[in-house]
């Protein structure tokens, strides 16, 4: 493996441990460590010590991505995402597809949708981590809209009835009220953020749309266009750090593309492993979850992937493959509910992925 030096002999032993007996006085910055391995360590700069700390025992409450050097065991450690899995949750009160969601796994919000017959649904349901209960009905019955925000401050934007819509509604935990209209009426779009700082993008208007709009709690303003016009995509993140992934691009092509938004411009991110549309997303730009969706082959998908800000990794699948369903939550605690799995369903699943302390060893 060789040595890492800063005007002194500081060795990495073949066992993977750092040898601190010959005068290791500084710390190796996390930027020099990749993939839980020392294979990419190329320098030990003067700024060492500003990122990785030395501790006699592991931190009692580390945060995801944190790296430290344990001086008792003489090893470098990190706090990283552990394997996750899906489990059954409480069923929706009303089975529906083309439903949208917001909130978290223990405070979720489900609204709108198609129940198999017209008219479209205005029903709202709230999830407490175990069961769904009825909330206040939406003012406008529609499907394929964008949903974002929280259980007590939700936002529903655009969608379709018999035509594409530009209506916005705001939820306060009990009732929906009208908000500012979307500039570009459309359906099959995606959204992310919160009620007072929302982001919507893509869709059909009626052609494939690349339009992006930002909400300030009262009105929508135009943001930077997606690189590729896409409908049936999913979103995650915030207004100034958004993520768009999957969907369908013209002419009728499922995509695995990911785009990242910085508050003004979209740029390409790492591709999904499975191209699909009508999927759901959760989390933030650097820690997102993509799940479910539709692809002509093999059809209803149960595939789940995690994003780390650069690339997607396939993880445990949902029990029920589905598309046009609602999603909410974070990368470590997410919800999937409703949708179509061959028929319209009310099934809810909960995703849980813990965090673990991992020793960084030689690759």
pLDDT in tens, 13-41: 445 444 555 444 444 455 554 444 444 44
Both tokens of 20, joined, read 């601190």
Dist. CA 31–CA 40, nearest whole Å: 10
pTM for this prediction: 0.79
pLDDT per position as a tens digit, 230-269: 999 999 999 999 999 999 999 999 999 999 999 999 999 9
Tokens linked to 140? 């406008």
**Triad 335, 339, 342: Cα angle to 5°:** 130
**Quick count: other Cβ atoms within 10 Å of Cβ 91?**
15
Rounded mean pLDDT of 45-59? 68
- Checking if the pLDDT of 147 tops 70, the result is yes
Residue range 338-361: average pLDDT? 89
Distances, alpha carbon 130 to alpha carbons 38, 87, 93, 227, 343, in Å:
43, 11, 13, 39, 23
For domain 89-354, the CATH superfamily is Kelch-type beta propeller (2.120.10.80)
Q: What is the pLDDT of residue 309?
A: 97
Q: Domain limits of the chain?
A: 3-82, 89-354
Task: Tell me how crowded residue 111 is: count the other CB atoms within 10 A of its CB.
Answer: 28
CA-nearest of 188, 205, 201 to 227 is 201
Looking up tokens 């939820």 gives 171
């Amino acid at each position: 493996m060789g040595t890492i030096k800063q005007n002194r002999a500081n060795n990495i032993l073949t066992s993977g441990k750092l040898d601190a007996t010959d005068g290791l006085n500084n710390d190796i910055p996390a930027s020099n460590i990749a993939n839980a391995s020392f294979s990419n360590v190329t320098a030990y700069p003067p700024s060492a010590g500003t990122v990785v700390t030395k501790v006699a025992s592991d931190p009692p409450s580390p945060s995801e991505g944190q790296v430290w050097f344990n001086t008792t065991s003489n090893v470098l450690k990190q706090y990283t995402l552990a394997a996750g899995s899906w489990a059954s949750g409480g069923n929706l009160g009303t089975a529906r597809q083309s439903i949208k969601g917001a909130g978290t796994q223990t405070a979720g919000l489900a609204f709108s949708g198609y129940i198999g017959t017209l008219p479209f649904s205005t029903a709202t349901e709230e999830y407490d981590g175990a069961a769904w209960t009825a909330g206040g009905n939406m003012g406008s019955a529609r499907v394929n809209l964008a949903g974002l925000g929280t259980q007590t401050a939700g936002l529903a934007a655009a969608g379709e009835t018999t035509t594409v819509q530009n209506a916005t509604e705001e939820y306060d935990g009990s009732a929906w009220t009208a908000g500012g209209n979307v500039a570009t009426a459309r359906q099959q779009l995606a959204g992310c953020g919160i009620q007072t700082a929302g982001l919507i993008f893509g869709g059909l208007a009626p052609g494939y749309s690349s339009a992006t709009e930002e909400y300030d709690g009262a009105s929508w303003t135009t943001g930077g266009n997606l690189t590729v016009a896409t409908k049936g995509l999913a979103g995650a993140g915030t207004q100034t750090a958004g993520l768009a992934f999957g969907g369908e691009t013209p002419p009728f092509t499922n995509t695995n593309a990911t785009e990242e938004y910085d508050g003004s411009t979209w740029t390409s991110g790492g591709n999904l492993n499975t191209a699909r549309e009508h999927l759901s997303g959760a989390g933030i730009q650097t820690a997102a979850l993509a799940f479910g969706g539709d692809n002509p082959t093999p059809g209803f998908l149960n595939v789940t992937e995690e994003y780390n800000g650069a690339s997607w990794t396939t993880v445990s699948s949902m029990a029920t493959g589905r598309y046009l369903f609602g999603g909410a939550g974070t990368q470590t605690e997410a919800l999937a509910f409703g949708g179509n799995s061959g028929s319209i369903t009310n099934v809810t699943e909960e995703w849980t992925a813990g965090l673990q302390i991992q020793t960084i060893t030689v690759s």
